[in-house]
């Protein structure tokens, strides 16, 4: 059992315990604020789950619509999952990222939602740190796996955006469960401190590098690139059917030579075939840069912070940073 599963089991066990306690002490059937009666929070995908877990702690029972190891954009919801949105106390999602979730939220009309796209402004996919050589219109089409109509959904890869999401989640939870507002505030501040430290590590760690450009199979790192002065060169989108054209592969190889790139990045949830083919031709290294769309046994860490730290190390190595 991996650590996440262990944590989930522990959480579930403590839930049973709390529920039992609630039955014993509260026969009046009070609302969400009563002792031991935890909030039901549904999150759409991993980084939002992470924020909810950190901010709510054991005050909430958290479920996530995207199973670990599956691509969030491929998500299809079961009838049970759609129903879970109606009974949830809070739903945390990002409108414009997962069409099936948007539709289910419209249908289920949950009592309280946090829509991340209203918390962090989404950048157009062409402006979020994309390489200037990128063809107009290409990225939206190539990234067709995501249903995000020309905007880049990957806001969570910038730790400062995660701070904003954490604050929004904290204030929404506090409205719904006012009795525990102080707990949510403290836990949100704890998460903010960790994220701020992570942000500083990125800033310091990527300040003095031999090159700014990095090449990755999935152009998910636009917000991260922009935040730390890097330039992302995306090979293609991540959907299996959107293979890069031979012309695009040739162009990426030309850019790799031009910028002295050492490493072609791929990600854990997607086949590294194209990255490896490009790297092999040029005798370059390959390494993982994780867009944090899910944590699996293959992840280089067991939570958002540790995987981001692994991403930082990978970027520093590839780009010759001091």
Q: How far is the CB of 170 from Zn ion (least distance, A)?
A: 26
Burial class of residue 181 in the structure, from the number of CB atoms within 10 Å of its CB (0-12 exposed, 13-18 middle, 19+ buried): middle
Nearer to Zn ion, 185 or 300 (CB): 300
Of 220 and 315, which CB lies nearer to Zn ion in the complex structure?
A: 220
Minimum Å gap between C-beta 58 and Zn ion is 31
Nearest approach in angstroms of CB 2 to Zn ion is 22
Q: Cα torsion at 153, 156, 160, 165 (round to 10°)?
A: 90
Q: CA neighbours within 13 Å on the CB side: how many for 10?
A: 10
Determine the Cα–Cα distance for residues 306 and 300; give it in Å rounded to an integer: 7
Contact letters (x/-) for Zn ion, 36-65, by CB under 5 A? ------------------------------
- Secondary structure of 184-226 in HEC code, one letter for each residue: HHHHHHHHHHHHHHHHHHHHHHCCCECCCEEEEEECCCHHHHH
The whole-angstrom separation of Cα 39 and Cα 41 is 6
Which residues in the 203-232 window bind Zn ion by CB under 5 A?
Answer: 220
Give least dist CB 243 to Zn ion, A: 17
Using CB under 5 A as the binding rule, the residues of this chain from 110 to 139 that contact Zn ion are none
Compute φ and ψ for 200, nearest 5 degrees: -65, -40
Which of residues 44 and 220 has its CB atom nearest to Zn ion in the complex?
Answer: 220
The residue nearest Zn ion at its CB is 220
Question: Which lies closer to Zn ion via its Cβ, residue 72 or residue 159?
Answer: 72
- Which CB atom, from 220 or from 314, has the smaller least distance to Zn ion? 220
Residues that bind Zn ion (CB under 5 A): 220
């Amino acid at each position: 059992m991996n650590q996440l599963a262990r944590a989930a089991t522990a959480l579930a066990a403590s839930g049973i315990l709390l529920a039992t306690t609630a039955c014993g002490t509260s026969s009046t059937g009070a609302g969400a604020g009563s002792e031991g009666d935890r909030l039901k929070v549904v999150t759409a995908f991993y980084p939002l789950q992470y924020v909810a877990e950190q901010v709510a702690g054991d005050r909430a029972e958290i479920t996530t619509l995207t199973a670990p190891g599956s691509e969030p954009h491929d998500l299809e919801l079961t009838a049970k999952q759609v129903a879970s949105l109606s009974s949830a106390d809070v739903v945390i999602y990002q409108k414009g990222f997962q069409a099936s979730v948007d539709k289910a939220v419209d249908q289920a009309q949950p009592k309280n939602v946090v829509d991340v796209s209203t918390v962090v402004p989404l950048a157009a996919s062409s402006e979020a740190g994309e390489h200037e050589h990128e063809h107009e219109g290409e990225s939206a089409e190539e990234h067709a796996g995501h249903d995000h109509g020309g905007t880049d959904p990957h806001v969570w890869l910038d730790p400062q955006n995660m701070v904003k999401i954490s604050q929004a989640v904290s204030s929404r939870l506090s409205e719904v469960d006012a009795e525990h507002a102080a707990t949510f505030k403290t836990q949100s501040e704890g998460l903010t401190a960790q994220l701020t430290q992570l942000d500083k590590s990125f800033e310091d760690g990527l300040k003095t590098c031999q090159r700014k450009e990095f090449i990755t199979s999935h152009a998910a790192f636009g917000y991260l690139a922009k935040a730390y002065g890097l330039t992302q060169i995306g090979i293609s989108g991540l959907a299996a059917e959107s293979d890069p054209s031979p012309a695009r592969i040739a162009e990426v190889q030309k850019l790799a030579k031009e910028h002295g790139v050492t490493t072609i990045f791929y990600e854990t949830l997607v086949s590294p075939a194209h990255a490896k083919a490009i790297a092999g031709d040029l005798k370059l290294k390959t390494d993982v840069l994780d867009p944090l769309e899910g944590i699996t046994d293959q992840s280089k860490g067991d939570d958002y912070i540790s995987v981001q730290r692994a991403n930082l190390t990978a970027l520093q190595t590839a780009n010759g940073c001091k």
